[in-house]
Chain A
Amino acid sequence: MSTTAKVPVPVDESEPAAVPLRTALKAPIMLGVVTLLVALLIAFKARSGKTTFRLAADTDFFDLPEITVPSTATVATVVVLLAAFTAASALLVSRGRRTPVWLVALFAVLAMVGFLAWAAAGKSVPVIGLLGGSIALAVPLVFGALGGVLGERAGVVNIAIDGQLLFGAFAAAIFGTVIGSPWGGLVAAMLAGGLVALVLGFFAITYFVNQIIVGVVLNVLVIGLTSFLFGQVLAEHPDQLNAPDHFGRIPIPLLGQIPVIGPVLFRQTILVYLMYAAVVVVAWALYRTKWGLRVRAVGEHPKAADTVGIKVNRTRYTTLLIAGLIAGAGGATYTLVSVPQFGQEMTDGAGYIALAAVIFGRWDPVRATLAALLFGFATNLSGVLSVLGSPVPSQFMLMLPYVVTIIAVAGLVGASRPPAADGEPYRKG
């Protein structure tokens, strides 16, 4: 064997991360459909007149001018740009690349400008109110999504987010009234959310009951329980039990006076600021701390965690409890901010939207927050447009958050991978 010949090796190392074509195609197809829809707006129901975008709030350092544009021409320009974006995406995919996120984001903003220019023709769009309101509406979704991310990262599917939000809202209303301070209400809301989480954990972790079923049952249970108590007790004594003090707006000096950003982000209630903090803390704790490493290990490979001496079920319980506390705080938004009063089923399935945000955000706290903000925007948009008297029937606008959810989860989430042991109870041995 003095001489040997090396077998020629097929060269395909040049493209290490080829994307499966079928998944990659979703983005250009979705972009194409949206482009077509916007084009149809002017093709079939062109609206004359000019649209005004109002950017100023009266407390800014300086006032940005209003921007007024001709409606149809703007939409036409937007359609051309959208088509260009779609083409770019298709071109990238045909070369085996992925459509970058910034392209999708820019596309979405453009499409939204086009839609608003059409829908609000002859009127003016309050941009600040639209965005600021979105944040306020997204608060329970963000808290819920953070709770969902934590639970699922530890391996427990937290379907009971809706129950935690609703029970939190209920507890906040009662204790906020009885204690006489919204802070008392907030603490009660968190404990209520934690309680729901513990019940979920008791069945799902200790007794291996199917987590999806327990979660859904808990949601229905909370609806039933709060509706019953509301009808029997709260409705009888609204002033003693269902009239909590509410958190007021706290404008942050300086930051709150930056045009556009200030009024949108920094003239909000304390709950919104707590939300900012919660996102940062959860992201930091999950990725940068010993606790987070262990939580992720337990959600990915509980047996491996067990063999290095981590108590799997104890970790899952504590994580789920923290998730419940966070989601409960989200519930407080319903009764301690704008309408200081509890109403039956007042979450309207927001917990499920938060769950969609968890998946859309690929089980990452920051991405899930952005997804929740998107859903908040969709909700607020329907409200703003109905006030403006848009040509779209209001029933359609009410569907918007849910349509956005479906498009986002089905169309734009690539091959996302949940934690490997998500939903799997851990049995020793």
Chain B
Amino acid sequence: MTELIKYTAAETAGAIAKGEVSAVEVAQAHLDRIDAVDKKVNAFLHVDTDGALAAARAVDEKRAKGEELGPLAGVPLALKDVFTTKGVPTTCGSKMLEGWIPPYDATLTTRLKDAGVVILGKTNMDEFAMGSSTENSAYGPTGNPWDLTRIPGGSGGGSAAALAAFEAPLAIGTDTGGSIRQPGAVTGTVGVKPTYGSVSRYGLVAFSSSLDQGGPCARTVLDAALLHEAIAGHDPLDSTSIDAPVPAVVEAARMRDVRGMRIGVVKEFAGEGYQAGVMQRFDESVELLRELGAEVVEVSCPSFTLALPAYYLIAPSECSSNLARFDAMRYGLRVGDDGTRSAEEVTALTREAGFGDEVKRRIILGTYALSSGYYDAYYGSAQKVRTLISRDFDTAFAGVDVLVSPTTPTTAFPIGERADDPMAMYLADLCTIPSNLAGNAAMSLPVGLAPEDNLPVGLQIIAPAMADDRLYRVGGAVEAALNDKWGHTLLEEAPAL
């Protein structure tokens, strides 16, 4: 029975469809696993035992009636606590929303339910998705299953850790500056930021609206593709949703063939600050792509060196506006309302009590960048950088099909090491940010352990907007070749919890 938790999502759905195991048995096996290990990992903020078992029973009943099941029916999933779930608490890792029960489902939540996916619960995250370590959660940090004293990345550290700890075969993250890919890289799991606008943001609590993008997290490239297909597609409830067919990601994940593809290595993502073992595994991955028949060239994207500064003006600016909604009037926390204080005073006291340090820093930084006198120099310049970065991508993609780089400059760092050093923390997203600014698609997949610390290293693959299928084609081929070479998947090397 314990082996059920080791199944991929595709294997799980297959076994349920064939009647080898019931969806309820699968759900229970994962709930038992969460019960056994999550005190140590802290991947979940809320486990919805009743909801999960009810959803699983519905899948079993459907099958018993002979109805056709979708490709993910009965597969358990860990949902980042930034998507609304009707009747199930949604906190965004913040005291501001402690105890809030949304009266509606996000479109993504609805799609998962319609696909028969079994939502196990809501995962831990940096408060309002601001951070790279999950240490900014108001509910305590999440441990990296490879080494519980280290960070699982962020902001979606809970989702990535749930996968690596075999608490769920699938998870959902959101990626504003790397919050899906960076946790994927440091936990040895697969994470994809789809093209901006391809997964609905309706019901995704907004941090930086022009950058936020939900996406799939999984242990295999094929599983990520199956989840991608289930959640992507046009949504009339999101005015920034792209009305175009979803690229054939599942088909691409099954190709396992990169012959004839042109792959660009981003020159700017190397050098000082990059860990030797990360670069070693990255260089080996590039060599592997060559062996598999891809043509590899070096590509220069000079504006990428300004991506991090531009991001830390644009994202805080949008955050300062978006988080103005937490005013203590309509939902969420309210403190200090003793009859003597004005609404404005109650708002200020509530925001002081309800937000953590990083959220406060970003609200102040964004308010500064948008204030008259600084707007042109800061926010205006950052928007110009955004154009230059898009142009660098356009130039690069004129000559290559995808770009590759390390996902992160280093492996997972110890919890606490960068907690009060914002600039050091921000560097974790150095390689992931350009794709958010340009709105294109990118994936991180595990390519081995760094020799010096035996911690996972991620390979980032970047594709043009609406060419998400290329990520899966390249990722699927690399994954298959590495699993062949190792004789097992990377996560089988993770220590027992």
Are A and B subunits of one complex? no
> Interface on A for B, CB 8 Å cutoff?
none
